[in-house]
Structure 1
Amino acid sequence: MTYDAEATRQRIFTAATAEFAAHGLAGARIDRIATAAQANKQAIYLYFGGKEKLFGAVVRAKLDEICHAVTLDPSTLPESVGLLYDWYHENPELLRLLLWEGLEVGDGPVEGERERKDSYRDHVDGLMAAGMSDARTAQDWLFTILGLVAWNFAVPQLRRLLLDEDDAERAIARRRAVVVDLARVLAERAQAAMR
């Protein structure tokens, strides 16, 4: 039987995603990742260079997934926001990773910061190419849209308490409709401002 380095790397990555989403950077343990990945700890250090770099790689990869899955364009905003909402619902680990990162790093630099900033700049540039007047407007708009969607999954207990809905899936569907409707209003406003 031959050693498959790429398969090992993928198992480590999958195990690390689950471990970091559950425990954050500080609480995650390399030995648990290695056990779940059926790999040795040395492979983790060899392929990823340590826990902090592995965490950064996991966050960047999950962000890349969503960036390739959804494009925010003012002309198709309601549909895009619906897709973004669905993606967060089906992939809760990204939001957990970002929340852990925020708790542990605060406003300090993050692993892979330059690449992540460049990715967000690409989205801002795309919004400007679609007709937004300036970078600040596009940045604020993007940040607001991301918050509008993500908050629904960041605080499930608040969703349950505030919405007075016993069925979580029905509450999520109801919130999706509201968020998409708000996106429609924002898109109409953005379109009017671009004329």
Structure 2
Amino acid sequence: MAYDAEDTRRRIFDAAAAEFAEHGLAGARVDRIATAARANKQAIYLYYGSKEKLFAAILRAKLEEVRVSVSIDPDAVAGSVGQLFDWYQEHPELIRLLLWEALEAGYEPDESERERRDGFREKVHHLVDGGVAQHLPEDARVRAAQDLLFTLMGLIAWNFAVPRMCRVVLDEETDQAALARRRETVIEAARRLATTPDASKAGSRSKGSGG
């Protein structure tokens, strides 16, 4: 059978993603990745250069995956947040990778930070162009959209970062029950956060005049 380089890369990537999610960057072992991927260590270094670069490549790919799979629709923020909540529930490895990065990678900017900034700038401008924070002066809209985006990300991610705490605080017996409650709460919170003050006042006036 001919050697399939792309298949080898895919197996290494999948095995390394699982290894890093479980053990972090420092605790991950290239030997275990090679065994799980049915590849040799030389192939890992050939394709990715180092364990650190492999971790960075996986995190970058996972972030790109969620970016492509789900976007925040300015006209339907609550629905988009529900979809994003579901994506994180189906892909718990991303939260674990981000937590490991925060614990182990330090605070100095790395070569991937510019790429990430560009990706989030694109999302923010999509929100602004779609009318988010339109009640604010033009120079304040970008900042408001940035804050909204990060707040929504936090509302979603914290549920999966501390699932036991979620279960305990909500006094639920299972993670599934706790997450089902949180999903509805997060969607409603997103709807309220994305509602401009002007729209809220207009809604209140129309209800009052309808007597």
Q: TM-score if structure 1 supplies the norm length?
A: 0.94
Structure 1 vs Structure 2: percent identity of aligned residues?
Answer: 60
Decide whether the 8 Å contact of 1:124 with 1:142 is kept in 2.
Answer: yes
Structure-1 residue corresponding to 2:147: 140
CA distance, structure 2, for counterparts of residue 167 and residue 175 of structure 1: 13
**Partner residue in 2 for 1:85:** 85
Question: Between Structure 1 and Structure 2, how many residues are aligned?
Answer: 194
Superposed counterparts of 1:98-117, under 5 Å: 98-117=98-117
The residue number in structure 2 matching 1:30 is 30
Cα distance in 2 for partners of 1:149, 1:188 equals: 18
Deviates more, 1:75-84 or 1:65-74: 65-74
Residue aligned with 2:75, SS: helix
Match of 1:174 in 2: 181
Question: Where in structure 2 are the equivalents of 1:1-195 lying within 5 Å?
Answer: 1-132=1-132, 133=138, 134-189=141-196, 192=199
**Distance (whole Å) between structure 2 residues aligned to residue 33 and residue 191 of structure 1:** 54
Superposed CA deviations along residues 93-140 of structure 1, whole A, max 9, x for unmatched, are 000000000011232224522211111111112112112352211111
Contact 2:74 2:126 in 1 (8 A): no
Q: Which amino acid aligns with 1:79?
A: G
Any idea what SS the aligned residue of 2:195 has?
helix
Query: Segments of 4+ in structure 1 off by > 4 A?
Result: none
Distance 1:27 1:125 in 2: 38
Counterpart-to-counterpart distance in 1, 2:21 and 2:188 = 30
* Structure 1: gaps (5+ residues): none
Q: Is the 8 A contact 2:159 2:182 kept in 1?
A: yes
Conservation of the 8 A alpha-carbon contact between 1:75 and 1:187: no
Residue number in structure 1 paired with 2:207 = none
Q: What TM-score does the superposition give when structure 2 sets the normalisation length?
A: 0.87
- 1:52-88 alpha-carbon deviations (Å, 9 max, x no partner): 1110110011111111111112311111000000011
Deviates more, 1:65-74 or 1:89-98: 65-74
Secondary structure at 1:74 match in 2: coil
Contact 1:30 1:41 in 2 (8 A): yes
Tell whether the 8 Å contact from 2:164 to 2:175 is kept in structure 1 after alignment: no
Query: Which has the higher Rg, Structure 1 or Structure 2?
Result: 2
Q: Give 1:30 deviation, angstroms.
A: 0.8
User: Does the residue aligned with 2:76 lie in a helix, a strand or coil?
Assistant: helix
* RMSD between aligned residues: 1.7
CA distance in 2, matches of 1:29, 1:180: 39
| Paired residue type of 2:30 | I
Distance 1:99 1:189 in 2: 32
| Higher RCO (C-alpha 8 Å, min separation 6) | 1
Between the aligned partners of 1:52 and 1:109, the Cα distance in structure 2 is: 14
Distance 2:71 2:55 in 1: 25
